[in-house]
Chains A and B, each alone.
Chain A
């Protein structure tokens, strides 16, 4: 069972937190919170066959926020004295510009998160640097053993141990311990003048043991090596509009870019999203049901509660093609009069809360993945992707394949070089004609950027067929 995180961990008393919140209690302030965070990050990395680098960073601080109508006042400090809290509170309430409120701030009541999605015994256990080094050494050997054309292996293992607590003017004091780790491998393959890259990785809110279970780390190494070797024989990608089959798992990045960002409540409150005013309207084919679910155990995008203390949930964004919900934080839920979904997230104490995705995926359909491939006469089969990006306002999004093949007469044939796919968010899912029964979540490598803030997220997808999308290759 989770122990509640005490403010004492940050060298602050509950009375001091109460005083700071009281200082934020001026008439026009609708809501205020204090977010305390302590974070230890460690990394080891290898290249050229040796583990050369080890790093560790420790940070601690408080972010103080007040909101009044649409306005947010925010200040943060890496010092946690009473004085620092007061100065931050005075800055944050500057936006309200109104006299002291009449009703007292409720005393925050300590509560526990309602879930325990990532029991922390694993993460708590000290892992000797020597064990991390050994893990990377085995990865290097495995990748090189896969094929002698693998000429360099770059691998890194990162862990983060974050303790946070949030005290809010609506009377809550709740904390959480959020472990996170990730193993990332990149291989360079060379065959005479031809040099290619392949990468693979995974992780989640899991401990060190996870990577050694069934030699998971070695399978990652082989995957990275396989992709690099495969790309040695890849031909130039085609250009133009064609059917594209996306494999399950990480290609779910399509959902993240094409619709996820556009459904974040802030853009819709401001009516700057291509999805503004589309609730209840059709934005996808019948076959598409898409959820954002922060409650999956051990997942990279999961949280027991968001950074405002709201329990995370599973939110149906699109149900059989109809747009149902936006994802919200407290500010936007209040201003729009819509339900809180537990998606208020921030990168760290130095950043403001924004509505952000957790794990975003499409539910499984009924098609056999083999039938989906067989249904395509001439098109592209995309298995793995690099990053993606979206222009929220006009809805145009891109995502770039790192492993893809031609489909010719219903069969997967030649590997092609990476190419960017481009489409329009509100339209693309209406072109999804087949959804496989093979839903897969990604391995835990996603980091989402918004407004300069990075947060860990997950995506997932069954095999799907998009009847037409523009593929940005070089060949006619």
Chain B
């Protein structure tokens, strides 16, 4: 571990919805310029965790530090400037369905830069090409398949050259080939853009392939973290059951 300020750090973050405690004094430090993958059960608070990182949800207690700055007490307007460091790919891509593909990808540029229409067009076309969708700019999101929508979502997330890219279950609901393609794109995102990637997933196989670091979220806490190899050899029965995908064990199916 270096003495640098970590890019993303959560300190004793708790969050409840009603009586249900989703995050329980969770501590987490993510590594810069790496593919960080957070695994855990569906409905186990992974999405809640990622929404805390980008300030869509506020913790009941604890601190969320982005490059050393606590974003939990920030007002909406100061949050907006922090958020420009981020790109996010949503679970269902969350493309604006009244816009074309091109307009979707161009949206952050139109909002936050003073680039000319031609410059924007060139950037958008380049980004679409890099996710393998050149020439699709004129289509509406409803005309695309799930995998294509996600790739457009990724192009949109990357168009502002963010330092941190968040992926909310990027491969859920996709066929194996498309999943592999998306995983490739995550790796390329890290390498070509030098971004810190934070991925939420329950796809163990792919996680083992592309992760630099894996963090396992269980019962509101991070119970294991390490390289794929370390996680694979982890001693804890909960982690072992999850990694191997067994129905019997300490994790109860309800």
Interaction A to B: no
Q: CB within 8 Å of A: which residues of B?
A: none
What is A's interface to B at a CB cutoff of 8 Å?
none
